[in-house]
């Protein structure tokens, strides 16, 4: 679809596990990025471990900046009609449905997608399987055939696809690459004779300064990049969806760079080892999901009590318990902020996009070392697995500063937990001459020796030292967008949902609703002053969250003592802009619009 701002189309490829759905989506998004487009992509996997069930790859291609996926795709490509049929309704009016119209077996009544295409949608049927078999002697290249057809139908640059195909299969035998190029070319030929009826238009963009430099990166990939550029020295991890790919990438990249990597037997040993490494003076991290964070709670308390810097990335999924391993949710906020015995405040960061994952992961080590405390970087499955075009900085931003050793005390009585004016004590590394000290999980005095009489003073110290973190340099702790001054509706958000919030804000402004949005990246300690200033400018405050309890709304209301309107969903999918916009209209007193929305939801998980 072409609008006033240029190209903005979304293509959904739907198939069964084993059809190459995700692979074709990967080639499409990387080719589009190479063309110079801004790209957001998100893949939906089946929940079954052994790889049965439906896969969907959605790719939004824009000539302008976009912040979320759309609810209504412009093109749906079916590699498996059974799985694709429930998603026909997600294709907008005058959008395209591409499918195989030459099946090799009879299907039951209603089993073919052609019978479900809406009157306002444009069908494009062709012999996908047959063309694949003729080109490569196999039906396994159907997913590449449809890319050639798509490129020809919408006049996309062919060489970008061929380059990505060659790169993707570079480690395979040459025959594999050749067959996939043949399949792509066969798809091009099939699309060349088609009379195009839909109104999907892709404008050419100048790739200079974008396509040549941009990288397609997931949130997890960005975390790993941030860790590496920050000079991570030790990583300890245990596999858990959706955080595992962080560990997998670091397992490859850390050893050649001189880092130490260890897959531990469980999450408890992972956090224990990371805290031990942090205590020994290295930059150490681990990554997990909600169930793993629950197991780590006791050791995180030790990190708080012993004032040890360590970084923990938590990628949230549906819960509680084992929950929904392959579905997204924002329901571990309470656990991240409050999880643990006693008063155990730690710093919690929640990036809102892929680039933010990179910045928060890289900056987390500096923050942890500055305030001598665990830092949690809280993301979710949607952000972990979401691809975005990112143009990396030419310079490393998180280079570790050389440690300046402390001068030894003459009397040998080193106060590791000294009560200082800024509440941050001098930190010595075990083995430094003249700085021997005690570290324990028990409450202790300034020397680190068990002493419960000083508990109030130490509690004050551990909490007060974190307050200046809301002004930490090089980190966007919170930021306001949209209309300035007084507005009718303000939308307050955190984490991956903020992309949908921004899209909502722009749509509301286009409808004449005075609207602003604020993202909060540092969730603990909370930047109360900036949030309070935002509240003061808004007649109504809406807090959308992908959790049932409104966990962020509860934290904000508790801190400010002011009510908010809440929008909470737990359907395993990113929140739909249409739903947020409906609430904004209601709060502003504006009547709802009729017709199709242009935002993303998951209709049939």
pLDDT in tens, 477-531: 999 999 999 999 999 999 999 999 999 999 999 999 999 999 999 999 999 999 9
Residue 202 falls inside a structural domain: yes
Is residue 423 very low, low, confident or very high in pLDDT (cuts 50, 70, 90)?
very high
208 lies in the same domain as 223: no
CATH code, 354: 3.40.50.970
Q: Name the token pair of 218.
A: 């997931």
Looking at residue 605, its pLDDT comes to 36
Boundary-marking domain end, from 422, 451, 472: 472
**Does 162 have pLDDT greater than 50?**
yes
Q: Is the domain of 192 the same as that of 312?
A: no
Runs of H (alpha helix) within 154-243: 158-168, 174-192, 219-229
Q: How far is CA 24 from CA 48, 148, 387, 540, 560, in A?
A: 21, 11, 14, 44, 48
Q: Is residue 601 part of a domain?
A: no
Q: Using 50, 70 and 90 to split pLDDT, how confident is the model at 408?
A: confident
Structural domain includes residue 578: yes
In angstroms, the CA 201 to CA 9 distance is: 8
Query: What pLDDT band is residue 258 in, cutting at 50, 70 and 90?
Result: very high
Rounded to an integer, the average pLDDT of 234-241 is: 97
**Is there a single domain that holds both residue 510 and residue 454?**
no
Within this chain, do residues 242 and 378 fall inside the same structural domain, yes or no?
Answer: yes
Residue 33 CA to residue 397 CA, distance in Å, equals: 24
Query: Could you give the C-alpha distances from 459 to 377, 438, 463, in angstroms and in order?
Result: 23, 18, 6
CATH code of the domain containing 532: 3.40.50.920
Q: What pLDDT does 517 receive?
A: 98
Residue-number span of the structural domain to which 338 is assigned: 216-390
User: pTM of the predicted model, to two decimals?
Assistant: 0.92
Distance CA 229, CA 231 (A): 5
Does 601 score more than 80 pLDDT?
no
- Residue written as tokens 């300064």? 209
- pLDDT tens per residue across span 56-91: 999 999 998 889 999 899 999 999 999 999 999 999
Give residue 433's pLDDT.
Answer: 86
Yes or no: say if 313 and 377 are a contact pair by the CB < 8 Å rule. yes
Confidence band of 104 (pLDDT split at 50, 70, 90)? confident
Q: Are strands 73-78 and 515-520 parallel, antiparallel or unpaired?
A: unpaired
Q: What is the pLDDT of residue 486?
A: 97
C-alpha radius of gyration, the chain, whole number: 26
Give yes or no: residues 468 and 508 share one domain: no
pLDDT band of residue 410 (cuts 50, 70, 90) is: low
From 191, 214, 237, give the residue that closes a domain: 214
Q: What is the pLDDT of residue 594?
A: 56
Q: Are residues 444 and 492 in the same domain?
A: no
pLDDT per position as a tens digit, 272-320: 999 999 999 999 999 999 999 999 999 999 999 999 999 999 999 999 9
Q: Are residues 554 and 519 in the same domain?
A: yes
Quick one: 91 and 141 in the same domain? yes
Residue 51 has pLDDT above 70, yes or no: no
Residues facing 235 on adjacent strands: 261, 285
Q: Do the domain assignments include residue 518?
A: yes
Cα 515 from Cα 484, distance rounded (Å): 9
- Position 47 scores a pLDDT of 67
Residue whose tokens read 């680190």:
448
145: in domain: yes
Total of domains in the chain = 4
Residues 261-270: pLDDT tens digits?
999 999 999 9
Query: Are 7 and 128 part of one and the same domain?
Result: yes
- DSSP character at residue 444: B
In a domain, 34, yes or no: yes
Q: What's the CATH number where 60 sits?
A: 3.40.920.10
- φ/ψ (deg, to 5) at 374: -65, 145
Answer yes or no: is pLDDT of 396 > 80. Answer: no
- C-alpha separations of 461 from 217, 281, 329, 367, 440 in Å: 40, 22, 34, 17, 16
* Banded model confidence at residue 472, pLDDT cuts 50, 70, 90: very high
Q: Which residue has the higher pLDDT, 598 or 30?
A: 30
- If you average pLDDT over every residue of the chain, what do you get? 92
Residue with the bigger pLDDT between 410 and 491: it is: 491
pLDDT at 1: 35
Mean pLDDT of 333-362: 96
Does residue 605 belong to any structural domain of this protein?
no
Is 381 in the same domain as 487?
no
Residue 604 lies in a domain: no
**Phi/psi at 476 (5° precision):** -80, 105
Query: What pLDDT is attached to residue 202?
Result: 84
Q: What confidence score (pLDDT) does residue 304 get?
A: 98
Q: Are residues 166 and 26 in the same domain?
A: yes
Residue 92 has pLDDT above 80, yes or no: yes
- Of 439, 472, 505, the residue that ends a domain is 472
Examine the domain organization and report whether 377 and 418 are in the same domain: no
């Amino acid at each position: 679809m072409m609008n006033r701002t240029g190209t903005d189309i979304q293509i959904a490829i739907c198939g069964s596990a084993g059809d190459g759905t995700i692979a074709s989506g990967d080639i499409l998004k990387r080719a589009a990025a190479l063309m110079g487009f801004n790209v957001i992509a998100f893949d939906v996997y089946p929940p079954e471990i052994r790889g049965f069930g439906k896969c969907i790859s959605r790719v939004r291609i824009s000539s302008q900046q976009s912040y979320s996926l759309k609810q209504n795709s412009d093109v749906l490509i079916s590699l498996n009609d059974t799985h694709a049929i429930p998603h026909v309704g997600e294709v907008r009016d005058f959008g395209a449905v591409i499918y195989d119209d030459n099946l090799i077996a009879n299907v039951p009544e209603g089993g073919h997608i052609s019978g479900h295409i809406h009157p306002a949608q444009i069908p494009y049927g062709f012999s996908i399987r047959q063309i694949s078999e003729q080109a490569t002697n196999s039906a396994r290249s159907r997913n590449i055939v449809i890319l050639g057809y798509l490129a020809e139908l919408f006049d996309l640059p062919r060489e970008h696809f061929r380059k990505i195909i060659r790169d993707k299969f570079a480690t395979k035998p040459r025959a594999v690459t050749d067959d996939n190029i043949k399949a792509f070319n066969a798809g091009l030929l099939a699309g060349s004779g088609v009379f195009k009826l839909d109104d999907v238009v892709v404008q050419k963009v100048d790739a200079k300064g974008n396509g040549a430099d941009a990288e397609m990166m997931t949130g997890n990939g960005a975390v790993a990049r941030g860790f590496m550029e920050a000079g991570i020295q030790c990583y300890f991890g245990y596999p858990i969806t959706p955080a595992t790919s962080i560990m997998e990438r670091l397992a490859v990249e850390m050893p050649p760079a001189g880092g130490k990597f260890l897959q531990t037997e469980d999450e408890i040993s992972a956090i224990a080892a990371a805290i031990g490494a942090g205590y020994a003076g290295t930059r150490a991290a681990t990554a997990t999901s909600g169930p793993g964070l629950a197991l780590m709670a006791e050791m995180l308390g030790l990190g708080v009590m012993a004032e040890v810097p360590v970084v923990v990335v938590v990628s949230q999924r549906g819960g509680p318990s084992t929950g929904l391993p392959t579905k997204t949710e924002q329901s571990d906020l309470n656990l991240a902020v409050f999880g643990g015995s006693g008063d155990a405040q730690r710093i919690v960061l929640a990036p809102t996009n892929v680039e933010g994952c990179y910045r928060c992961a890289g900056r987390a080590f500096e923050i942890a070392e500055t305030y001598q405390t665990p830092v949690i970087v809280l993301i979710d499955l949607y952000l972990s697995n979401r691809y975005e075009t990112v143009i990396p900085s030419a310079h490393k931003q998180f280079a570790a500063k050389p440690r300046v050793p402390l001068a030894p005390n003459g009397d040998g009585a080193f106060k590791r937990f000294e009560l200082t004016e800024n509440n941050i004590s001098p930190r010595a590394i075990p083995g430094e001459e003249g700085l021997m000290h005690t570290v324990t999980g028990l409450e202790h005095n300034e020397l680190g020796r068990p002493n419960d009489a000083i508990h109030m003073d130490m509690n004050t110290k551990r909490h007060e030292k974190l307050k200046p973190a809301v002004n930490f340099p090089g980190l966007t702790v919170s930021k306001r967008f949209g209309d300035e001054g007084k507005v009718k509706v303000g939308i307050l958000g955190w984490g991956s949902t903020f992309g949908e919030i921004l899209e909502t804000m722009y749509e509301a402004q286009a409808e004449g609703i005075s609207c602003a949005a604020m993202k909060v990246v540092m969730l603990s300690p909370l930047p109360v002053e900036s949030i309070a200033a935002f509240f003061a400018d808004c007649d109504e405050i809406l807090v959308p969250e992908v959790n049932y309890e409104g966990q962020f709304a509860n934290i904000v209301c508790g801190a400010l003592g002011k009510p908010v309107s809440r929008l909470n969903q737990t359907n395993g999918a990113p929140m739909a802009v249409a739903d947020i916009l409906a609430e904004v209209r209601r709060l502003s007193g504006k009547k709802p619009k009729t017709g199709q929305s242009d935002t993303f939801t998951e209709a049939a998980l």
